[in-house]
Amino acid sequence: GENVEQHPSTLSVQEGDSAVIKCTYSDSASNYFPWYKQELGKGPQLIIDIRSNVGEKKDQRIAVTLNKTAKHFSLHITETQPEDSAVYFCALPEGNSGNTPLVFGKGTRLSVIA
């Protein structure tokens, strides 16, 4: 099955700085790369995703980049704000068909210091 490693496990940044979280994976056939955000006391929520046919996708202050050769993808948050403080998870499909569940990374706790 798919194996995904997420780093770092914790990250503290000053408000206004950028944050980067990276995930590496093992199955070179993976084709869908989502990121989820979990705020305190809530369930995770999808914030951005990318398919294997593009290398980067942006949505306002967040972006995801994909390096299929090196088998890693990263979440970038620019101009961080206190409300960005949360736990972030990367995920991958367990297999290559549309009928497989997601495998989640172990999560990164981001703290934005005002």
Partner 1 sequence: DADVTQTPRNRITKTGKRIMLECSQTKGHDRMYWYRQDPGLGLRLIYYSFDVKDINKGEISDGYSVSRQAQAKFSLSLESAIPNQTALYFCATSDPGVREQYFGPGTRLTVT
For partner 1, the binding residues (CB under 8 A) are 6, 9, 32, 34, 41-46, 49, 89, 93, 98-99, 101-107
Nearer of residues 34 and 62 to partner 1, judged by Cβ: 34
Q: How far is the CB of 15 from partner 1 (least distance, A)?
A: 26
Strands 10-14, 108-113: parallel, antiparallel or unpaired by DSSP?
parallel
Q: How far is the CB of 46 from partner 1 (least distance, A)?
A: 5
Q: Which residue has 């499909």 as its token pair?
A: 93
Q: How far is the CB of 70 from partner 1 (least distance, A)?
A: 22
Nearer of residues 19 and 91 to partner 1, judged by Cβ: 91
Nearer of residues 15 and 54 to partner 1, judged by Cβ: 54
Q: Three-state SS string across 19-36, please?
A: EEEEEEECCCCCCEEEEE
Nearer of residues 6 and 80 to partner 1, judged by Cβ: 6
CA 34 to chain centre: 6
Q: Are 97 and 27 in contact (CB under 8 A)?
A: no
Q: How far is the CB of 105 from partner 1 (least distance, A)?
A: 6
Closest CA to 84 of 21, 24, 4, 5: 21
